[in-house]
Structure 1
């Protein structure tokens, strides 16, 4: 099998249901989920099995789910032959884990700077790439059919990365650094409701 096909040499790529320019918003959206998946792989590689076997398993699960999301985004239209793969249960799982990690991490009142241990810093990168993917999917859904679960999943996924990055720092006894000019925006570890 050859790795290269030469079919994309003119700036076009195949999606499920046709071909698109490589800078089409649909391609950018699923390409960004692929980028996110790579950063998750980096985070998994940085986490020690001894302290983080639970988180590593979750991140690997999320990598598979991001492939599902990418496949859904690469689909011009869902059909009986090619149904959407991303499901509500994926979001439910993230919410359950976020609640657990909020309780495990130290109390938080202010915004924090992304960083800490190398693996936690990578998880903060994952958080921001998830937000970027979310923005691209938001734009795509204004223009074309998209599985609505994907947008919700990416939104919750960025929250998950924030929560798990804090837990990684806590387990390694690395203190989060508060943004020094931050107002108090969290109560009891959770963000204040916006008005």
Structure 2
């Protein structure tokens, strides 16, 4: 079976509910940018040193499908009847991670470079793509009504990605220092 349908050869695409729209519409740009974000989150997750962070990011990857699906549907009721969607619990999960990691990590007193580790750098890429997706979402929201819970989730997402980047940078720092200490002890033991 071919993966192409030829349905978009004239510059249109189908939304979740079957409605045909122009491929360069704000709606398509918005869910497409969230799709780009999700691919970047998947890449970041592969670089993470923290097992917990990998699990959290995998959960967010699934949330992104629900988010994109709802944005890609003009008839929200049809989407809600056929798919999972973003809930208050999903937004609370982001807030809980933000609050817990903010309390656990050393305070930030100045601007930080975007990523001291590969995972941290990739999560900062995610954060910037998220901000672009959020700007597109806000633009679309001027003409399209979205559920408040979807708006809250989108608004929390970039803060979540920022704190995840900080967490991975800190994890890498701790692992690096631990490795250096072990090497010193190993050299001291060999010298005896």
Aligning the two structures, in what range does the TM-score lie when normalised by the shorter sequence?
A: 0.7 to 0.9
Q: Is there any run of 5+ residues in structure 2 with no aligned partner, and where?
A: 175-192
Match 2:79 to one of 70, 77, 82: 82
Task: Work out whether residues 70 and 79 of structure 2, in 8 Å CA contact, stay in contact via their aligned partners in 1.
Answer: no
Task: Work out whether residues 26 and 140 of structure 1, in 8 Å CA contact, stay in contact via their aligned partners in 2.
Answer: yes
Corresponding pairs, count:
170
Matched, 1:28 2:25: no
Instruction: Give the structure 1 partner of residue 57 of structure 2.
Output: 59
RMSD: 1.4
Greater shift, 3-12 or 66-75, is seen at 3-12
Task: Work out whether residues 95 and 156 of structure 1, in 8 Å CA contact, stay in contact via their aligned partners in 2.
Answer: yes
Instruction: Give the structure 1 partner of residue 120 of structure 2.
Output: 120
Q: Which whole-Å CA distance do the structure 2 matches of 1:164 and 1:141 have between them?
A: 27
4+ residue runs over 3 A deviation? none
TM-score with structure 1 setting the length: 0.83
Q: Which whole-Å CA distance do the structure 2 matches of 1:26 and 1:105 have between them?
A: 37
The structure carrying a bigger helix percent of its residues is 2
Q: Which whole-Å CA distance do the structure 2 matches of 1:2 and 1:47 have between them?
A: 35
Matched, 1:69 2:70: no
Task: Work out whether residues 131 and 154 of structure 1, in 8 Å CA contact, stay in contact via their aligned partners in 2.
Answer: no
Q: Is there any run of 5+ residues in structure 1 with no aligned partner, and where?
A: 175-195
Q: CA deviation at 1:89?
A: 1.0
Q: CA deviation at 1:124?
A: 0.5
Q: CA deviation at 1:63?
A: 0.3
